[in-house]
Amino acid sequence: MEQLDLGHISLAIGFLLILIGFWGLLTQKNIIKIIVAFTILDTGINILIVSLGYIVGKTAPIVDNSVEQLENHNVVNSIVDPVPQALVLTAIVIGFGVTALMLAYAMKLFNAKKTLEINKFNDLKW
């Protein structure tokens, strides 16, 4: 059996976090908890992105001294896939924006009804 490498572990953690996030989104009644669940989901996805770009034994795709010191200066063969790393940055920013927006909503909703129970905000229905 192959050894559990870092990539697989993080992949599993990512999925686990995604599931926890979904579970939280669907079960928690408190809006803040829902937002937390969303950030967990978001984090899970981010971990997923990074771990999919991971290649065993390679280093981060940052061209600095650690790479310069490599014997044959073979940068391409010594770093992990850089694209997911770039993507995850954007995804984090987006996730941040969404979380901020949600929190702003939470604030407004609380001001409106003095409660954070999501069940109470069903004026519009059917």
Partner 1 sequence: MVTPIFIVAIALGVGFSIGVLNKLGKNFTGGLVLAAITFMTFISYQWFYAFTFGEQTPTYVYTAGFKPPFSINLLMGQYEAIITLMINSIGLLGGIYMFNSLKERGSNAQVVYLILIMALNVIVMTRDVFNLFVFLEISSIAIAGLILLEKGTRSMGAGFKYVLATSIISSILLIGIIFSYFITGTLNVDDFISLSISTYKGGAIVVFLIMIAVILELKPFPANGWGLDVYEGSDPGFSAIISGASATASLYVLYKIMAFAGVEWNYYISLIGIVTFVGSNLLGIKQENTRRMLGYSSIGQVGLLMVILGFKDILGENTPYIFFGILISHYLAKAGLFWLSGIVRAKGLKEWAVIRKKPFFLFLMGTFIFALIGFPPFPSFFAKWTLVMDLVQSGNIVWVAAILFGSIMEAVYLFRWFGYAIKEENKHLEDFKIEIHKIIPVWIVAIALYGFGYFVSQLTEVSSTINFIPFAFVILLFAIDFLPIFVKNTVAILGMAFYFYTIYPQLDNFRLIFEVIFIVGGILALIAGYAYKGKREGFYPVAILMYAGLTGIIEAKTTLEFFYGWELMTAGSYFLIIRGHRSMPHGLSYMLFSLGGAYAILAAFGIASVGQDSISMSIINNIQYIPTWAYALLIVGFLTKTASVGLHIWLPGAHGEAESDVSPMVSAILLKAGVFGVALTLIGMGAENNQYSVLAYTLGWIGAITALVGNLMAVFQEDAKRLLAYSSIGQLGYIVFGLAMMTHLGWLGGFSYVINHFLYKAILFLTIGAVVLRVGTHNMYEMGGLIKRMPLAFIAVLIGIIALSGVPPLSGFTGKWLFYNAVLDKGWYLQGAIMFFSGGIAFLYLWRLIHTVFLGQLKDNHRTVKEISIWFLIPIYTLIVGILVYSAKPQWILQPLAEIIAPFFPSNQLVWNGGTAISHYGNWAGTMVMAIIGIAFLAVLGVQLISTRKAHKVKQFDITYAGERPERPETTHVAYNVFEGLYKAMWPATIPLVETFWNKITNYLHDTAGFTRRIYSGNGQAYMLHIVFFILVTYLVIIGG
Binding to partner 1 (CB under 8 A): which residues in 76-115?
Answer: 83-84, 87, 90-91, 94, 97-98, 101-102, 104-106, 108-109, 112-113
Q: Is 12 in the site for partner 1 (CB under 8 A)?
A: no
CB of 48 to partner 1, least distance (A): 6
Structure tokens belonging to residue 79: 């770093």
Q: Which is nearer to partner 1, 66 or 115 (CB)?
A: 115
CA distances to 1, 39, 102 from 109, in Å:
53, 19, 10
Return the ∠ at Cα 8 (arms to 7 and 9), rounded to 5°. 95
Q: Residue 3 carries which DSSP code?
A: -
Contact string (CB under 8 A) for partner 1, positions 13-52, x = contact: -----x--xx--xxx-x-x--x---x--xx--x--xx--x
- Which residues make up the interface to partner 1 (CB under 8 A)? 18, 21-22, 25-27, 29, 31, 34, 38, 41-42, 45, 48-49, 52-53, 83-84, 87, 90-91, 94, 97-98, 101-102, 104-106, 108-109, 112-113, 118-119, 121-126
